[in-house]
Amino acid sequence: MKKLFFSVSLLIFLQAKAQIDPVKYPTYTSVDDALKSGKTVYSMSFRGKAMFNLPVEIQKFNSVFFLNLMENKFEKMDESIFKLKELTILNLNENSIKYIPDEIAELHKLESFSINLNNLTHINPNLAKLKKLKTIHLDANNLNVFPEALLEIPGLEEINLQGNQISFIAKDLDKIKNLKSLNLSSNQINDLGKLEFPGALKYLELQQNSIAELPDGLFRSKELEFLNLSQNNIKEISPKVKGLKNVVSMNLANNQLKDLPSEFSQLKNLKTLILTGNPIEKSTLEKLKKMIPETQIYF
């Protein structure tokens, strides 16, 4: 599992680091170097150092806003982390952390929290107190329900829960008003019920689940641009698909689709449609090509 998500974790780290000016905010990789610098320390990385604990001296650097602890041997979140009150970006990917402690609520300025490839089975409700949190990555853990604490953070813009064991999604998902990107791929979802999605949602990934039917709420996602529903058990798409006015790319590969409704012709912004691995006859495919001539269909 760790190898499968390594590239994802690396990408997340690079994206976070891209937010830091390396000249203005040099990243220190040892406490000794940071102490010797005589400068205010804003960014630190202890990636891949086989650490079980942080040196207590790190608490002296109360200006640190970026901390990268990925690829270590942490079994719990070191208490020194919670002393860094300016912390804005925290990366704990690829450790062996089993739970998030109550003290997580002390990181009032945290905006990006990445804890992929760990051993989490549930999410501490105190996470809901991080009102400035915009991005959270919980990929490849052992979660079996959508973390309800996230519903209490309306400012969240990106949630990644790929590669867990989630079978149930909270019905109040639309409470996360600012959510733009949601990744629930590679889980165990088979029923979306009457789920409503946040109005600001632009990217939705639900591939590699067991979804058989799509809720009407999905087709009310007027801002949605990228939709991935590949590798599910979907047999038909509702005519209400016409509600996806801004969709640019739709991946429906490897489902059970034999045809698509004529309402696809109303999706004027649809540039890419992937239908590989569906039992669609050639004559039906030709009909679809004529119906949406401006769309590139892959079959």
Mean pLDDT of the chain: 93
Cβ within 8 Å of residue 17, ≥6 positions away: 27, 66, 68
Structure tokens at 299: 């079959």
- pLDDT single digits (tens) 124-168: 999 999 999 999 999 999 999 999 999 999 999 999 999 999 998
Kindly state whether residue 55 falls inside one of the protein's structural domains: yes
What is the maximal distance between C-alpha atoms in the chain? 73
Domain total in the chain: 1
| CATH number reported for the structural domain that contains residue 104 in this entry | 3.80.10.10
Distance in angstroms (rounded) separating the CA atoms of residues 235 and 291: 20
Kindly state whether residue 259 falls inside one of the protein's structural domains: no
Which letter does DSSP use for residue 145 in this model?
A: B
Average pLDDT for 4-11: 41
Cβ within 8 Å of residue 46, ≥6 positions away: 29, 54, 68, 69, 72
Residue 4 pLDDT greater than 70, yes or no: no
Kindly state whether residue 286 falls inside one of the protein's structural domains: no
Quote the pTM value.
Answer: 0.92
- pLDDT single digits (tens) 101-111: 999 999 999 99
Task: Report the Cα–Cα distance between both ends of the chain, in Å, rounded.
Answer: 30
Kindly state whether residue 196 falls inside one of the protein's structural domains: no
Kindly state whether residue 35 falls inside one of the protein's structural domains: yes
- pLDDT single digits (tens) 19-68: 566 667 799 999 999 999 999 999 999 999 999 999 999 999 999 999 99
Kindly state whether residue 4 falls inside one of the protein's structural domains: yes
Kindly state whether residue 281 falls inside one of the protein's structural domains: no
Residue 247 pLDDT greater than 70, yes or no: yes
Number of Cβ atoms within 10 Å of the Cβ of 99: 15
Kindly state whether residue 37 falls inside one of the protein's structural domains: yes
Asked if 215 contacts 237 with a C-beta cutoff of 8 angstroms, the reply is: no
Residue 1 pLDDT greater than 60, yes or no: no
Domain limits for position 62: 1-142
